[in-house]
Amino acid sequence: MEGEGERQWSSLIVPSVLEMVKDKNFTTVPPRYVLSDQDKTEILDDSSLNSEIPVIDMKRLCSVSTMDSELKKLDFACQEWGFFQLVKHGIDSSLLEKLETEVRDFFNLPMEEKKKKFWQTSGEFEGFGQVNIVSEDQKLDWGDMFILTTEPIRSRKSHLFSKLPPSFREAVEAYSSEVKSIAKILFGKMASILEIKSGEMEDLFEDVWQSIKINYYPPCPQPDQVIGLTPHSDAAGLTILLQVNQVEGLQIKKDGKWVVVKPLRNALVVNVGEILEIITNGRYRSIEHRTMVNIEKERLSVAMFHSPGKETVIGPAKSLVERQKQRLFKSMSTQDYFDAFFAQKLNGKSHLDLMRM
């Protein structure tokens, strides 16, 4: 039976920002979205570093088996940046265009229909809404999101999946399947660089849990008062993100400074999540990131998270620990890790501390 025995991660139900800004007279951001003065002082970004965010060519990465420069670049990116842009990944630009149209149309469905078919209900994690909202006085982010588990197929919520507009569903299924293959290749390359036994990495991600999170950040009349997405690091193994409509907004923290990840046409932004940091015993790092919003443009992004199956036990790869002679993280199931992650509000990288020895 669907969802049997599965714990749910509930979040408090919040209003739709997209709905709020549809009101033509909307000019002032409600207090619940206004950042504290302390958070506002953190707003400054540094543009000098953005051209240095590594760009990896997937075609080159796949055409070599030895420690070629592209593999070295991948290793450097995962160690020093925790982020890179992936080009020549093989996903057809027509699919990316279709995804953009479908996502926009889906978010612009009449509110009544969204509420009836897809809005989170109390105690539910998937659907339209927010995550990590744990108290009524918590500040809210300037955006709406839609979350769906795509893999394993047995874990799909059929009450959501079956109601998706067919063309949206088609685009999501085609895109998620392509992205899953890319993630698999990247996990394999990382294992080979770090000399983690390939079977070990494969076993961890054999029952891969993939979910999609679509972020829609409407324009904001007072963009310097709010944040699109609170600083956090992803709990997942690997996140593959598409900056759907090429609007700037994603920033990552590098050496204490916020650096913009400039959208590159058709590139995928890949980042190491906390679970991969754990598996690689700290060699690869999950990096804090956030999103800013815009006064005139909406911004859309599609994040796809890839983690071990919920029952899989995560911990540093044995072959790495043996060589490094030091184990930095404990082991626990993916499910337990996410239970703890979603029980708190987003707060930088603090959550990973749970797993430290």
Cβ 215 to ligand AKG, closest distance in Å? 4
In the list ligand AKG, Fe ion, none, the entry touching 213 (Cβ below 5 to 8 angstroms by class) is: ligand AKG
Cβ 11 to ligand AKG, closest distance in Å? 14
In a 13 Å sphere around the CA of 223, the CA atoms on its Cβ side amount to 15
Among residues 230, 280, 301, 307, the one that binds ligand AKG under rule CB under 6 A? 301
Question: Which residue's CB is nearer to ligand AKG, number 193 or number 287?
Answer: 287
In the list Fe ion, ligand AKG, none, the entry touching 18 (Cβ below 5 to 8 angstroms by class) is: none
Among residues 71, 303, 317, 320, the one that binds ligand AKG under rule CB under 6 A? 303
Per-position x/- string for 247-266, each x denoting binding to ligand AKG as judged by CB under 6 A, each - no binding: ---x----------------
Query: The tokens of 343 are what?
Result: 């029980």
> Measured between alpha carbons, how far is 271 from 83 in angstroms, rounded to an integer?
4
Which positions touch Fe ion (CB under 5 A)? 234
User: Beta-carbon neighbour count of residue 327 at 10 Å?
Assistant: 16
Give the ranges where 163-301 is alpha helix by DSSP (H). 166-194, 198-205, 274-279
Nearest to 89 by CA among 233, 236, 204, 240: 240
User: Is 229 near ligand AKG (CB under 6 A)?
Assistant: yes
User: Is 234 near ligand AKG (CB under 6 A)?
Assistant: yes
User: Is 150 near ligand AKG (CB under 6 A)?
Assistant: no
Residues ≥6 apart with Cβ < 8 Å to 208: 151, 152, 180, 183, 184, 306, 307, 308, 309
> Measured between alpha carbons, how far is 113 from 117 in angstroms, rounded to an integer?
6
Among residues 85, 230, 291, 334, the one that binds ligand AKG under rule CB under 6 A? 291
Cβ 279 to ligand AKG, closest distance in Å? 19
In the list ligand AKG, Fe ion, none, the entry touching 70 (Cβ below 5 to 8 angstroms by class) is: none
Question: Which residue's CB is nearer to ligand AKG, number 132 or number 281?
Answer: 132
User: Is 213 near ligand AKG (CB under 6 A)?
Assistant: yes
Among residues 120, 149, 176, 215, the one that binds ligand AKG under rule CB under 6 A? 215
In the list ligand AKG, Fe ion, none, the entry touching 291 (Cβ below 5 to 8 angstroms by class) is: ligand AKG
User: Is 289 near ligand AKG (CB under 6 A)?
Assistant: yes
| Contact predicate 352/286, CB 8 Å | yes
Pairing mode, if any, of strands 55-57 and 83-87? parallel
Cα angle at 70 between 65 and 76, to 5 degrees?
A: 120
Cα 340 to Cα 7, 318, 350, distances in angstroms: 12, 24, 12
- Maximum separation of any 2 CA atoms in the chain, in Å: 63
Cβ 145 to ligand AKG, closest distance in Å? 7
Q: What's 25's DSSP letter? A: T
User: Beta-carbon neighbour count of residue 257 at 10 Å?
Assistant: 14
Residues that bind ligand AKG (CB under 6 A): 213, 215, 229, 234, 241, 243, 250, 289, 291, 301, 303
